[in-house]
Amino acid sequence: MRSGHPCRRATPSRRFGIAVNKDSPRPSTTQTQTQTQTQTQTQTQTQTQTQTQTQTQTQTQTQTWAWFLAERVRETQAQRRERMRTRLLEAAVAGLVEAGYSGTTTLAVQKRAGVPRGTLQHHFPTKADLLTGVVEFLAARRSAQLASELAAIPPTGDRLAAAVELSSAMFTGPTFLAALEIWVGARTDPELLATFLPLEERLFALMYTTVRDIFRAEFPNDPRVPTITEFTIEIMSGLAMRALLTGRVDRTRILQRRWQNAARILLGAATPDTLLDTAQ
């Protein structure tokens, strides 16, 4: 056994020549744990905030899509409802033209449209409701046709002749025939008359305004224009009804031309001798 100092194991500082300051403070275990907990809490809060933001964005996107899809569903339902309503009204118009007022029953309209009974009753519970819808439907179509024909008149054309032509056109065709059948029914049906008359008066007011404005384009400040407008509409409607009974469309055209001449004379734009017409 060797003599001398007892064997001492070299510490890492001695082994690698690292100087160790024995006086430097070392972090305690409690402080290290506290720092670790703080960092963990901060990370947890950050993750929580991120998750909350993600959930909020997801909810917003979900609500947006739900609103968008609901709007599309509502639009589709409205479109389907309008298509079915138009289908029923077109069937009723065709029935009025072909079978007349007495032959246009709700059952006949249902069969012509090819729909279940409940579908017709859902849109039009009674025949009066159906015919009122027909009147509105026809008025809209006649108004649209009138506006289209008015827009087609050349700016330099004969405005007086155009006013008479348009007035005559408003009392011809299937839409007029269907409306005429409703006139017949309303004469003896107080309920139908009560709903039909205001709509018909509204339509005639629109007709009057349109025809008057056409006249005024050629006679802007003439006080006789309102009277000539009323005469034109009444004469054209009377000629149209007469033609339905007699079938004399050629005669109707002759009388229409004579009224054009008369209106021009009454407005001071022609001499009385232009009224002479040898056509019979």
Is residue 121 one of the residues assigned to a domain?
no
Residue 222 belongs to domain with CATH number: 1.10.357.10
What percent of the chain has pLDDT above 90? 39
- What is the separation of C-alpha 201 from the centre of its chain, rounded to a whole number of angstroms? 24
What backbone phi and psi angles, to 5 degrees, belong to 159? -70, -35
Q: Is the pTM of this model over 0.85?
A: no
Tokens of 228: 């000539």
In a domain, 26, yes or no: no
Domain assignment of residue 184, yes or no: yes
Domain count, the chain: 1
CA distance 217 to 232: 16
In a domain, 236, yes or no: yes
Question: 2-23: per-residue pLDDT in tens?
Answer: 555 554 555 554 544 545 455 5
Identify which of 114, 118, 117, 110 has the alpha carbon closest to the alpha carbon of residue 92.
110
Q: What is the pLDDT of residue 31?
A: 63
266 touches 224 (CB < 8 A): yes
Residue 65 included in any domain: no
- Model confidence over 166-204: pLDDT tens digits? 999 889 888 889 989 998 988 998 888 888 888 889 889
Q: Which residue has the higher pLDDT, 12 or 223?
A: 223
The set of residues, in sequence order, having a beta carbon less than 8 Å from that of 169 and lying 6+ positions away, is 145, 146, 149
Residue range of the domain that includes 271: 127-275
Q: How far apart are CA 227 and CA 171, in angstroms?
A: 19
In a domain, 102, yes or no: no
Does the residue 233 lie in any domain? yes
